Amino acid sequence: MNLSQLETQVKYVSDANGETTEVIVPVALWQMLLEKLSPEASGLDAVDEHELKEQILADLRESLRAAAAGNHYPVSELWDGLED
């Protein structure tokens, strides 16, 4: 399911001034989104979920050095997973 398909399923609620204040999401869509956002669906191994902050910072520094050197790595996006 892509972003435009998602947008057709939700309803927007506005206040008296016409400002959008809430979104109503169908239960089936909400459950699908929760499944996609759950830790199991994150793609992270349990070891990564509990990685020490120092290691995360070291990995980030190394990634920044690699990026500065012109090395690039692909990153998948949440919406790619929602198209299933």
> Tens digits of per-residue pLDDT, 16-42?
999 999 999 999 998 888 887 776 655
Q: Answer for the pair 10, 29: CB distance below 8 angstroms, yes or no.
A: yes
- Residue 57 falls within a domain, yes or no? yes
Q: How far apart are CA 8 and CA 6, in angstroms?
A: 5
Q: Where are the strands (E) in the chain, listed by range?
A: 11-14, 20-24
Domain identity same for 14 and 30: yes
Q: How far apart are CA 65 and CA 20, in angstroms?
A: 42
Domain identity same for 61 and 31: no
Q: What is the pLDDT of residue 78?
A: 44
Domain carrying residue 49: 44-69
C-alpha R_g of the chain:
19
Per-residue pLDDT tens digits for 39-78: 665 555 666 666 777 887 888 888 888 888 887 666 554 4
pTM for the model stands at 0.42
